[in-house]
Structure 1
Amino acid sequence: MASLTDRFGTENYEQRLKPMPPILVIANPQANRGRVRHRRAQIQRALAAAGARYDWQETEYPGHAATLAQMAGAAGYVTIAVAGGDGTVSEVVNGLMMADDPAVQPALAVFPCGTGNDFAAAAGFVDSDTQTAVCLIAGQSRAIDIGRVLLHADDAAHTRYFNNSLGIGLEAATVIQADRIQRLNGVMLYVVAAIRTLLHFRPAQMEIECVRHDGHSQTISGSIIMVSVGNSPRTGGGFHLTPHAKLDDGLLDMGVATAISKLRLLSLLPRALFGKHTSDPAFTLYQCRRIHIQCADGIPVHADGELLSAAAQKIEIEVLPGRLRIHDVRGNNDSSIKKKRG
């Protein structure tokens, strides 16, 4: 199997004349402390059983997945399958958004190999590698929304896309803490990180202006401990902070938590695993098209589990409806797989 770099090379003319495999697998060998290395054979068996033609490309440095994804459509790939976690998926999505020609954007699929795998769960890529491999061959896709955020911090600004969630305040500080914890995975990693963060985190004065689903504007201001913006219901390995969010409704769900006691926050933590925290009056949900947040003192921000800034002062968020295509696994189950093989 040739790498994507080989396909763009000029030194191997005969190799470049061979038919292009329609699937590019972008694998992050560092995801979840090297889990991809253990999963590679399993994923490749599933692809082979489905009759998939593919190139397997492992990332070699931070940002490599975005570079590969940015070039993939122009190189002729019609599908990118990510073998990695939420961070790798997000990096690939950002690469796709930077591509020159959106008309040849490959559809996305995921073989979940990360710590949280929140986006994979929301998009349906969690049942089996075999099911995912078969859906790649079936070629059915659907359009989903993504979010775009413009951050201002210390007189600098930069743009980032997110496909799953964006968190501000306590949620982002928990991501910082989670990166320091070893030997834990999934939801337990984020539970422990959240408890540790609660001990010292302080709310911040924010002013939030959002354009709601009905087109009307609303302003929320005061002492706020957390803002969660969800394109999907899940974040942090299984917390349903925005439990009603949908990938394809043209909206972003925003949850705002006002300042409350640490003990009360701690009591909300297990309820947030099931989306039951929303009944607490300190937590309010909104459905938005655009969100502007200002915090003079600066506040941490993460997107898809990756820290964007430790002290953002102005945050501008908007939804891009239907901007990303993903493979549709909803019609593929074990019985349909057996029928295709038979």
Structure 2
Amino acid sequence: MSSSREIALLTNPAAGKGRGLRVRDEVLPRFRSAGLTVRSLVGRDADEALDLARASVADGVEAVVVVGGDGMVNLGLQVTASTPTALGIIPAGTGNDVARTVGLTRKDPMAAADRIVRALATGERRRMDLARTGGRYYATVMAAGFDAVVNERANTMRWPRGQMRYNLATLAELRTFTPRPYVLDLDGTEVRLEAMLVAIGNGPSFGGGLRIAEGALLDDGLLDVVVIKPMSRLGLVRTYPRLFRGTHTTHPQYERHRARRVTVAAPGIVGYADGERFGPLPLTIECVPDALGVLA
């Protein structure tokens, strides 16, 4: 069998509290029964996983298929973006926002595997844009406000695990959080404002279905820059549930801009995208059109 019919299956063993490995064992026979040669890869940590994926792409595999959540998808992006190698997604994490955006669900991993097999057989690819900053790519949303501060605090906490850690971090930050002064550069136009939250969306959602960048499209060559202007803490809490429905866009403190290249600066904020830490602001993010082929 030629190397063009070989795929790398990269699994996050910690995804979904161990669900990643169980899902891998479920879908692996499906790929092999379709006549594919499968390199089943598990890294001891993110760095090793990245090295394994990069080596597979260098060897000419047709696709890198990731089993996990948005963090594992983000890792896969780094080695497949702007290359002929396709990315396949078997959602098995907590958030799965990238998978959800391309129509995949965690509930049915075999359906995701079937779509990958079919796309490999037909040559079909869903083309999508990516966002890039500092040489790293992301697919969903760059959090650069209150949500990013919560993520940063949660990463310093050893207890509890899972979603409760983020709930406690949210409560801790909510007591002291105040609007930050932001400077935005939108395709060369400077905007100065105060905001509770700024998010730069390539796709519409992050954080397990929070549709902060409602209306963002994966193939329009643009980034959606969402601003939540100052509001009370109670107002922020009341608005939060609307993010799951995307109805926050009618709130008077909501503002949206669209640009190909964005620089965002604010004191005391570390940017997070696809759930991964990207680094302190200021950050410059650019849209990279048609950067990725997804097997979906």
Does TM, normalized by the shorter one, top 0.5? Answer: yes
Q: How far apart are the structure 1 equivalents of 2:25 and 2:243?
A: 36
Is the partner of 1:175 in helix, strand or coil? helix
1:209 touches 1:219 (CA, 8 Å); kept in 2? yes
Deviation at 1:95, TM superposition (A): 2.6
1:233 touches 1:246 (CA, 8 Å); kept in 2? yes
Deviation at 1:182, TM superposition (A): 3.6
Question: Does the alignment pair 1:307 with 2:280?
Answer: no
Deviation at 1:183, TM superposition (A): 4.8
1:65 touches 1:88 (CA, 8 Å); kept in 2? no
Is the partner of 2:196 in helix, strand or coil? strand
Residue 107 of structure 1: aligned partner: 86
1:72 touches 1:106 (CA, 8 Å); kept in 2? no
Question: Does the alignment pair 1:277 with 2:256?
Answer: no
Deviation at 1:50, TM superposition (A): 4.2
- Cα deviation, 1:231-277, whole Å, max 9, x if unaligned, reads 11110011000111111111111101122111111111011111111
Question: Does the alignment pair 1:239 with 2:239?
Answer: no
Deviation at 1:22, TM superposition (A): 1.4
Is the partner of 1:34 in helix, strand or coil? helix
Q: Taking structure 1 as the reference length, what is the TM-score of the superposition?
A: 0.77
Alignment RMSD = 2.3
Unaligned runs of 5+ in 2: none
Question: Does the alignment pair 1:141 with 2:125?
Answer: yes
Q: How far apart are the structure 2 equivalents of 1:192 and 1:42?
A: 35
How do 1:80-91 and structure 2 match up within 5 A?
80-91=64-75
Deviation at 1:43, TM superposition (A): 2.0
Q: How far apart are the structure 2 equivalents of 1:293 and 1:164?
A: 17
Deviation at 1:111, TM superposition (A): 0.7
Residue 63 of structure 1: aligned partner: 47
Q: How far apart are the structure 2 equivalents of 1:190 and 1:43?
A: 31
2:136 aligns with one of 160, 164, 171: 160
Q: Taking structure 2 as the reference length, what is the TM-score of the superposition?
A: 0.88
Question: Does the alignment pair 1:119 with 2:78?
Answer: no
Give 1 or 2 for the bigger CA radius of gyration: 1
Residue 61 of structure 2: aligned partner: 77
Alignment identity in percent?
29
Residue 249 of structure 1: aligned partner: 220
Residue 210 of structure 1: aligned partner: 186
Question: Does the alignment pair 1:175 with 2:167?
Answer: no
2:57 touches 2:64 (CA, 8 Å); kept in 1? no
2:31 touches 2:117 (CA, 8 Å); kept in 1? no
Q: How far apart are the structure 1 equivalents of 2:169 and 2:241?
A: 13
2:239 aligns with one of 265, 268, 290: 268
1:142 touches 1:325 (CA, 8 Å); kept in 2? yes
CA separation of 1:292 and 1:50: change in aligned 2, threshold 3 A = same
1:319 aligns with one of 280, 283, 287: 287
- Cα deviation, 1:14-69, whole Å, max 9, x if unaligned, reads xxxx7545111011112233221232322224334544431111112222232233
2:57 touches 2:79 (CA, 8 Å); kept in 1? no
Is the partner of 1:55 in helix, strand or coil? strand
Residue 155 of structure 1: aligned partner: none
The letter for the 2-side match of 1:261 is S
1:68 touches 1:95 (CA, 8 Å); kept in 2? no
Deviation at 1:218, TM superposition (A): 4.0
Is the partner of 2:204 in helix, strand or coil? coil
Residues 132-141 or 117-126, more deviating: 132-141
Q: How far apart are the structure 2 equivalents of 1:125 and 1:59?
A: 24
The alignment covers a number of residue pairs equal to: 288
Deviation at 1:317, TM superposition (A): 0.9
1:80 touches 1:107 (CA, 8 Å); kept in 2? yes
